[in-house]
Structure 1
Amino acid sequence: MERFLGLAIKLLSCRSRRSGEQRNQLSPGALLPMPHNAFISYAHADEKRLERLHKHLAMLRRDGSLQAWSDHAIIPGDNVGQTISAALEQSSLFIALVSPDYLASNYCYEKEFQRALALQAEGRLRIVAVILEPCDWLNSPFSQILVLPKDGKPVSDWTNENTAYLNAVEGVRRALMVSPSPAPEAAVGAAGMSPTGSGRRVRVKQQFDAIQRAEYAEQAFRTLQTYFQDACAELHEASDQIRARFESMGPNAFTCTVVNRALMRNGEAHITVRHARGGRTRVGDISYVYQPHADDGSSNGWMNVQADDYNLFLNAVIGHLGMDREEKVTPEQAAERLWNSFVTKAGIEYE
């Protein structure tokens, strides 16, 4: 009997220790990344697609990167307008599910989206748009941003909508890398209210170490790599006169070739993009050269990871991308500009 009693006490002790460890891991003082608060703005007619998006965001929630809020979090007795406003003010990411119903909604478009535009202008929030259905979004402010899924192809037009949502979630993941950093003081409660109820966001100055800069450079290279791979696949299918090929050159480089058969001359474009990881031939954190399978060390331009008091970004882009050396550029912006510069050499432009 004493043996069984001792074993029971031992098991309870182990279980208690594990429970304490779990509490420590989940406690506010634990060294875990603060999740970004994302405000999802949608028309109620699109509720089924909102549910589908929530499922695709599951991994971002599980790894602690994202805390997504929608009006489903409002509980009976809450002041609806105040709760929505507080949740929006405390968010660093605004995800708009754009459809004809969304553009026609006075509340979604005129109130939530317009307030999001103001917060974005203040540098407090980043707007991400997911185009659900064909609609007149090109004649709205959404036309000024890079929308999701890729190239603004509506979710409803994809053969497999899960592929569209996956593409959108990958874009959200990239956006989190450059969104305003969440501060502990700005944590949102269950009803979306800040601890003080003031609705003010705190920005904390910080210094970025070599590891953070290296990780940002790696993520920026992955963003360029994904953008070029997706853009090549789409361009290849855009016309019988155009052929595009993406080829990985290992973990730190890729090359692309575009052929415009409609041009007798100057109808080819090549590029090699590299992520530098130190070494004597290092040229910038990310370099590019308009040649196929180019050797390490050759370059037509490059970009470096820099930081201000609050965020990491890319700048010092050398080349002919229409960018100022002092401009703060996101990886998505760099990818789009570099791709456009590349395909222009084959006589291809985007309207």
Structure 2
Amino acid sequence: MLKRQGVIDTWHDRRIGPGENIHAAIDDHINRDQIILLLVSADFIASDYCYDIEMKRAMERHHAKEARVIPVILRACDWNNAPFGELMAVPKDGIPVTRWPDIDEALLQVAKAVRIAAADIASSGASSPAALHSAPAAVRSVPIAAPAVARSSNLRLAKTFTQRDRDQFQLETFEFIARYFENSLSELTARNPGFEGNFRKVDAGRFFATIYKEGKDVARATIYLGDDSFSKGINYIHGQTTGSNSMNESLRVEADEHSLHLLSMGMRSLGLERDKKLSQEGAAELYWSMLVDPLQQGSGW
């Protein structure tokens, strides 16, 4: 809606065209654009270019009142002690997007923060760099249209979810976790010399994930859809098996009055996180952590 109303124009580095100088294009926008979103995760903090170059320059312009920097906390990480830790982050209370049962609600808070920043820019009469946020390409200083009628924004009503809705959500979640693992294993291979990740889809309801170090398997996992005879959830097993009568963790689909979400049995946390509502990405990250945590601690599987 912000783009449709002409409140903002957007840019990100995936819009760099073939033959363009990547660093020059990024530098140009870091030095011109008015609202800069930091998409914060452990990967963002670990990236030398994002953290030491892009973020540093963005914060310089923020302190000089030439740009507005908004940290968007995507995934749980140690961000509070970073230079941008002094800024008000979104979503509310800096709770990571992946921890929200309804991710759309979390992203709506991000959109509202951008709208407020754009309104500040417009009201500042940003015609010079000395204004709080001058008017480069990223944000047009266009007054934000007032609502046509006065009304409450509290319009969400309770929903009822059928068994078909739950089954479909479970299938979609399994496919999401499969893609998440395949992409994560590929990126792990690219970033860690000597390690190799391997993803194998066994059938429509089961896949294997393996991590090798110098050719030796150091982590293996099976993720499969259970059935009525054992557990009709999305199950995780250390190692690789085609059996369906055991698990180290299980996720089941639940619903509240507004949305579908996932709950774990809490086997990994000894029940401490049993009632924690998980989004699809939160569920995928839980299982990914079960695969890689032993390697990060140096113990293997």
Q: Which TM-score applies when normalising by structure 2?
A: 0.55
Aligned pair 1:215/2:163, yes or no? no
Aligned pair 1:270/2:220, yes or no? yes
Tell me, yes or no, if the aligned pair for 2:221 and 2:237 is still in contact at 8 Å. yes
The residue aligned with 2:234 is 286
The residue aligned with 2:49 is none
Cα gap change, 1:50/1:327 in structure 2, threshold over 3 Å: closer, same or farther?
same
The DSSP-based 3-state class of the residue aligned with 1:214 is: helix
Alignment counterpart, residue 330 of structure 1, candidates 260, 279, 287: 279
The DSSP-based 3-state class of the residue aligned with 2:295 is: coil
Question: Aligned equivalents of 2:198 and 2:222: distance in 1?
Answer: 12
User: Structure 1: which 5+ runs fail to align?
Assistant: 1-36, 54-94, 118-126, 130-135, 148-174, 182-190
User: Structure 2: which 5+ runs fail to align?
Assistant: 17-35, 40-53, 76-81, 107-143
Tell me, yes or no, if the aligned pair for 2:236 and 2:249 is still in contact at 8 Å. yes
Larger fraction in helix? 1
Cα gap change, 1:176/1:219 in structure 2, threshold over 3 Å: closer, same or farther?
farther
Question: Aligned equivalents of 2:101 and 2:146: distance in 1?
Answer: 22
Please show how residues 1-351 of structure 1 align to structure 2 within 5 Å: 47-49=10-12, 52=15, 96=37, 100=55, 104=61, 109=68, 113=70, 139=85, 141=89, 145=96, 178-180=103-105, 194=147, 196-198=149-151, 200-261=153-214, 268-276=218-226, 278-281=227-230, 283-321=231-269, 324-347=273-296
Cα gap change, 1:196/1:334 in structure 2, threshold over 3 Å: closer, same or farther?
same
| Cα drift, residue 275 of structure 1 | 2.3
Please list the CA deviations of residues 147-201 of structure 1 after superposition, one character each: whole Å capped at 9, or x if unmatched. 9xxxxxxxxxxxxxxxxxxxxxxxxxxx9974249xxxxxxxxx76545334623
The DSSP-based 3-state class of the residue aligned with 2:276 is: coil
| Equivalent residues, number | 210
| Cα drift, residue 296 of structure 1 | 2.3
Cα gap change, 1:192/1:97 in structure 2, threshold over 3 Å: closer, same or farther?
farther
- Of 294-303 and 223-232, deviating more is 294-303
Question: Aligned equivalents of 1:51 and 1:237: distance in 2?
Answer: 19
Please list the CA deviations of residues 262-309 of structure 1 after superposition, one character each: whole Å capped at 9, or x if unmatched. 9x9xx6111000123x4424x142111011143223211101111111
Letter in 1 for 2:284: A
Letter in 1 for 2:273: D
Letter in 2 for 1:343: V
The DSSP-based 3-state class of the residue aligned with 2:154 is: coil
Please list the CA deviations of residues 113-171 of structure 1 after superposition, one character each: whole Å capped at 9, or x if unmatched. 58xx8xxxxxxxxx769xxxxxx887564796469xxxxxxxxxxxxxxxxxxxxxxxx
Letter in 2 for 1:302: S
The residue aligned with 2:20 is none
| Cα drift, residue 214 of structure 1 | 1.2
Question: Aligned equivalents of 2:171 and 2:95: distance in 1?
Answer: 27
Q: Report percent identity of matched pairs.
A: 17
The DSSP-based 3-state class of the residue aligned with 2:265 is: strand
Question: Aligned equivalents of 1:192 and 1:316: distance in 2?
Answer: 44
Q: Which TM-score applies when normalising by structure 1?
A: 0.48
Cα gap change, 1:231/1:309 in structure 2, threshold over 3 Å: closer, same or farther?
same
Cα gap change, 1:308/1:177 in structure 2, threshold over 3 Å: closer, same or farther?
closer
Question: Aligned equivalents of 2:262 and 2:200: distance in 1?
Answer: 24
| Cα drift, residue 316 of structure 1 | 3.5
Output the aligned Cα RMSD: 4.4
Cα gap change, 1:205/1:194 in structure 2, threshold over 3 Å: closer, same or farther?
farther
Cα gap change, 1:248/1:48 in structure 2, threshold over 3 Å: closer, same or farther?
same
Tell me, yes or no, if the aligned pair for 2:196 and 2:213 is still in contact at 8 Å. yes
The residue aligned with 1:84 is none
Question: Aligned equivalents of 1:237 and 1:243: distance in 2?
Answer: 8
Determine which structure has more spread, i.e. the larger CA radius of gyration. Answer: 1
